[in-house]
Amino acid sequence: MFFVEKLKKTLKHPVPKQLYYGPRKHSIVLSQMGTQFSDLNDHQHSKGCADSPTCSCTAGNETIKHYFLDCPEHINCREALLLELNKILPPHTRVSWEILIFGLEDCDLQVNIDLLNIVHQYMQNTNRF
């Protein structure tokens, strides 16, 4: 069995089509987040590759949610992220880290590409990866 076929069978979520768009560097990081193999301290610590899961801000573990939605070091970047998301997401959509890395199942590909571009911009602005 080819690696890609095996990977598709083992992933909880199928690889979202929008991950084929935009800068490959950020798409790779989002894929790593989705499989819990990213450079975030929480992921690295769970694999025994970091001394602590704590974020450099010391306000909590550096989880996906912390990086995108809670970390005080990225507050200005997050304001821009949420502002741009409000322009494209359906009304009353609750922004969660799952939406940011997996996209929205009920929306078409273009909305998910727009969403991904906004997430990529956030990642670029935070300069974390």
Binding site for Zn ion (CB under 5 A): 55, 57, 71
Give least dist CB 25 to Zn ion, A.
Answer: 21
Give least dist CB 17 to Zn ion, A.
Answer: 31
Between CA 51 and CA 41 the distance in angstroms is 9
Burial of 101 (0-12, 13-18, 19+ CB in 10 A): buried
Can you read off the two tokens belonging to residue 120? 């990529």
Give least dist CB 37 to Zn ion, A.
Answer: 20
Closer to Zn ion by Cβ: residue 71 or 118: 71
Burial of 54 (0-12, 13-18, 19+ CB in 10 A): middle
Q: How much of the chain is helix, strand and coil, in % rounded to 5?
A: 60, 0, 40
Closer to Zn ion by Cβ: residue 40 or 85: 40
Closer to Zn ion by Cβ: residue 16 or 43: 43
Closer to Zn ion by Cβ: residue 26 or 66: 66
Give least dist CB 99 to Zn ion, A.
Answer: 20
According to DSSP, residue 18 is labeled G
